[in-house]
DNA sequence: GGTTTAGATCAAACCGGTTTGGTTAACGGG
DNA sequence: CCCGTTAACCAAACCGGTTTGATCTAAACC
């Protein structure tokens, strides 16, 4: 009735061999006779033996777990579709490899550093994901100093010893700009993410580059913060300006949705008088009125590939950087040709564009 | 240059005592002379010693970690504000107690069971959170059989050996209904979450109960799935009906937002011709046009309390069930008195209500 | 036939903590 | 003065695996 879980010693006893031999047999190491191996496997099976994870962890000095530290204001975390999706992708890979995912949510920068330090010192994880890279991101050196393997999502702007798993935003942004220019827009603005984030910065640069490539003057850029609140404020500033844009490219869907609502509030109809494009392709975006033109990235797949890369790195078989399929434009109905400049009277609130 | 991390043996040697004494001293156990204790603490400090988490874990048979299994379709996970916020709350508590959070994302029900089993068998965690309770939830018995301590978010509808951390939805829903009835609505519908979820079911019941309490006939209920897509479809069904409601209470904000967009698409203005209320108070909701009347729950606090309860349970000092502050109505401008029945012509698409 | 040599196996050490049982010395009571 | 008690401490066992070095056997070689 002791219910004690069988240990490797029980298996050894039953198979009539020593602990060491059992260990060798179960780990598929050479040096065990086929017949013996068979007998050991049978014994383990019969006893329903499973290796004790903690013991294994101690003796091989591995955690069999990967870590993710999320630095985000908790009150805003809920609106960000990235992390849940990314984590889901990571998990599909980890689950089939017997690895676990350890999560930390850190508020400020201080807490973030502390988070990595704890994961490393406690040996909770064998490696970490570096997401949401910032410019001159201090985590690169920190994590390296902690002796923790890592992969970065996209390439940092500082020298990095870690493999990067890259998903290029820029083609998506460029496609949006090209799409809008193709529709006839010339006054296109951008609501950007924080400039100290690599993706905020990068999308802004991609936006400006794409305009330049089209031979258009630099559009107005409002630097914002990826939140609905920030998107609202930025959009107000743009639309209240003397010469408002006829199209706005947002750095994410959340701000774009907030932006559409600001426009509606001002009696400016989308897309008749203002074209709007987002970035992320959240589930909601397809169900707006009008449905949002946006850019899709395979965040789930990003998680999968990042997990595989990190595991490979830990096993010492790193494959170097990986490049994923770049971001792709999804045209819906929030973008349309600009209204003729003369036509100053508000158009009908919701002209019905063709079905997507 | 070995960079070997100091062990408890190093500390013992430096303090001139045995390993056991060091262990006692550092864990604040009695039976160590004050002077000796002091000397040991100094030695540990000087060597910058930190206990090896894995070794501790093995000898005391504890993981010092808590687990959360999320069963959700990964593609929809991103739109749900619950988990990130809940996790953030949990983490604030775990961080200061040296505990970690292990996450698993499971697709189907099979994977979910497997997830709990793995967490238990690998001894990855000392306890789990049971979120998103379903009716006759099989996880209660499963987790109990696995010998894993747990806390449930809200009370299950089956006998449960676990403490429940409760946040009552019903007052929020009742307040929404009362608010709408107070505005003069009599044809109020509900777009519910899946009925096999306790919260989906409970909110629906609360809705009907509140109507009954107001002496109104049962409103129409469309059972949906908490997604934008589902909210869109359900809203269409409601508004296409011969006698459409003048107000719709949604079981979450996401469906409500989708619903507002459906209404707009049909030329039905909100709130002039249709009042809409959500549930969750996501960040976006305050920045819609019109801003969404909704119900706020303290998910972050829920996570904190759940974490504390689970830790207490694991330490054998469970405090029993905990009741949190119930859900609270947040009135914004998506709800207004119903338009007079005679007024059949569409109102202006976006009547400008007073500033919030 | 004697000696290598490789392969199979075992016993013991190890990972770094915690916990147990026993020893020692100081102290108080009779 | 002697004995019993207790506080302080130590050595060793333990948690459950992995890894090392030694030993034993049997096939291979000369």
Closest partner residue to B87 among A85, A105, A287, by Cβ?
A105
Look at residue B346 and tell me whether its pLDDT is greater than 50: no
pTM of the model: 0.93
Report pLDDT for A245. 97
pLDDT digits (tens, 9 = 90+) for A248-268: 999 999 999 999 999 999 999
Size of interface A-B (CB pairs under 8 A): 189
How do residues B103-140 score in pLDDT, each as one tens digit? 999 987 688 999 999 999 999 999 999 999 999 999 99
- Report if CB A7 to strand D is under 7 Å: yes
Cα distance between residue B257 and residue B192, in whole Å:
14
Distance from CA of B83 to the nearest CA of A (A): 7
Q: Which of A139-148, A295-304, A312-321 has the lowest mean pLDDT?
A: A312-321
Secondary structure in 3-state letters for B210-250 = HHHHCCCCCCCEEECCCCHHHHHHHHHHHHHCCCCCCEEEE
Instruction: Report pLDDT for A108.
Output: 74
- Going by pLDDT thresholds of 50, 70 and 90, the confidence category of residue B223 is very high
* Candidates A52, A85, A91; nearest CB to B78: A85
List the single range of A15-29, A158-172, B207-221, B271-285 with lowest mean pLDDT. Answer: A15-29
Hey, of B60, B66, B74, B78, which one would you mutate to test binding to chain A, going by the most A CBs within 10 A of its CB? B78
pLDDT at A346: 43
CA of residue A31 to C1' of nucleotide C2, angstroms: 27
* A151-155, A282-286, B66-70, B338-342: segment of lowest average pLDDT: B338-342
**Which strand D bases fall within 7 angstroms of a protein CB?**
7-21
Q: Do A54 and B57 touch (CB under 8 A)?
A: yes
How would residue B31 be classed by pLDDT, with cut points 50, 70 and 90?
A: confident
- The pLDDT value recorded for residue A340 is 67
Best A100, A191, A228, A232 residue to mutate vs chain B (most B CBs within 10 Å): A100
Q: Which residues of A touch B91 (CB under 8 A)?
A: 103-105
pLDDT at position B85 over 70: yes
- Whether residue A53 is predicted with pLDDT greater than 70 in this model: the reply is yes
Report the distance from CA of residue A14 to the C1' of nucleotide D25 in Å, as an integer: 23
**Closest to B311 in 3D by CA, of B60, B56, B116, B99:** B99
Domain B65-168+300-326 has CATH 3.40.50.2300: yes
For residue A72, pLDDT over 70 is answered with yes
Tell me the CATH number for domain B170-295: 3.40.50.2300
Residues 33-92 of B with CB under 7 A from strand D: 33, 35-37, 55, 58-59, 61
How many Å apart are CA A97 and CA A150, to the nearest integer?
18
B31 or A314, higher pLDDT: A314
pLDDT band at A355 (very low <50, low <70, confident <90, very high): very low
Does the nearest atom of strand D lie within 7 Å of A16's Cβ? no
Q: What is the pLDDT of residue A46?
A: 94
Looking at residue B208, its pLDDT comes to 97
Q: What is the arithmetic mean of pLDDT over B301-312?
A: 97
Q: Where are the domains of chain A?
A: 8-51, 65-168+300-326, 170-295
Interface touch B262/A300, C-beta < 8 Å: no
Cross-chain residue pair A103–B91, CB shorter than 8 Å: yes
Q: What is the pLDDT of residue A32?
A: 87
Cα separation, B157 vs B133, in Å, equals 9
Predicted local confidence at residue B356, as pLDDT: 36
What secondary structure letter does DSSP report for A292?
Answer: P
B154 preceded by a cis bond (ω within 30 of 0)? no
Tens digits of per-residue pLDDT, A89-125?
999 999 999 999 999 999 877 889 999 999 999 999 9
Name every chain A residue with its beta carbon within 8 A of the beta carbon of B302. none
Identical topology for domains B65-168+300-326 and B170-295: yes
- Distance of A260 CA from D16 C1′ (whole Å): 60
CA distance B186 to chain A (A): 27
| Mean pLDDT of the residues in chain B | 92
DSSP per-residue letters across A86-102: HHHHHHHHHHTTT-EEE
Distance, CA of A160 to CA of A244 (rounded, Å): 42
Residue B298 and residue B325 in contact, taking contact as beta carbons nearer than 8 Å: yes
Chain A residue with Cα closest to B90:
A105
CA of A33 to C1' of C2 (A): 28
SS3 for B44-107 is HHHHCCCCCHHHHHHHHCCCCEEEEEEECCHHHHCCCCHHHHHHHHHHHHHHCCCCEEEEEEEC
- Say which residue, B2 or A5, is predicted with more confidence: A5
B39 CA vs D5 C1’ separation (Å): 28
Instruction: Report chain A residues whose CB lies below 8 A from the CB of B104.
Output: 91, 95, 100-101
Give the whole-angstrom CA distance, residue A278 versus residue A296: 9
Q: Which pLDDT belongs to residue B306? A: 98
Q: Which pLDDT belongs to residue A178?
A: 98
Q: Strand D: which residues 82-121 of A lie within 7 A (CB)?
A: none
When the candidates are 1.10.260.40, 1.20.120.430, 1.10.340.30, 1.20.200.10, the CATH number that belongs to A8-51 is: 1.10.260.40
pLDDT tens column, B168-206: 999 999 999 999 999 999 999 999 999 999 999 999 999
């Amino acid at each position: 009735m002791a219910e004690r879980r069988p240990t490797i010693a029980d298996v050894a006893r039953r198979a009539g061999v020593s602990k060491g031999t059992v260990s060798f047999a179960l780990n598929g190491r050479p040096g065990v006779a086929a017949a013996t191996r068979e007998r050991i496997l049978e014994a383990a099976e019969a006893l329903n033996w499973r290796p004790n994870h903690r013991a294994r962890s101690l003796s091989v000095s591995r955690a069999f777990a990967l870590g993710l530290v999320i630095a985000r204001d908790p009150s805003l975390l809920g609106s960000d579709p990235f992390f849940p999706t990314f984590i889901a992708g990571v998990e599909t890979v980890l689950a089939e490899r017997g690895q676990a995912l350890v999560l930390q949510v850190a508020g400020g920068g201080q807490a973030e550093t502390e988070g990595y330090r704890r994961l490393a010192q406690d040996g909770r994880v064998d490696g970490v994901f570096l997401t949401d890279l910032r410019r001159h991101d201090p985590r690169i050196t920190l994590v390296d100093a902690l002796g923790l393997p890592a992969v970065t999502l996209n390439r940092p702007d500082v020298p990095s010893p870690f493999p990067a798993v890259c998903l290029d935003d820029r083609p998506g942004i460029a496609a949006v700009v090209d799409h809008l220019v193709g529709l006839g827009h010339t006054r296109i603005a951008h609501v950007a993410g924080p400039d100290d984030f690599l993706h905020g910065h990068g999308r802004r640069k991609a936006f400006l580059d794409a305009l330049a490539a089209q031979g258009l003057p630099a559009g107005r850029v409002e630097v914002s913060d990826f939140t609905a609140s920030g998107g609202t404020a930025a959009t107000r500033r743009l639309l209240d300006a003397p010469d408002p844009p006829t199209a706005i490219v947002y750095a994410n869907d959340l701000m774009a949705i907030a932006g559409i609502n600001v426009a509606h509030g001002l009696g400016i109809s989308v897309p008749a008088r203002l074209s709007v494009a987002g970035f992320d392709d959240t589930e909601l975006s397809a169900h707006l009125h009008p449905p949002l033109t946006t850019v899709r990235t395979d965040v789930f797949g990003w998680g999968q590939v990042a997990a595989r890369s990190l595991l490979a790195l830990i096993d010492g078989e790193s494959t170097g950087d990986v490049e994923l399929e770049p971001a792709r434009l999804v045209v819906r109905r929030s973008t349309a040709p600009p209204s003729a400049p003369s036509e100053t009277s508000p158009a009908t609130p919701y002209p019905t564009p063709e079905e997507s």
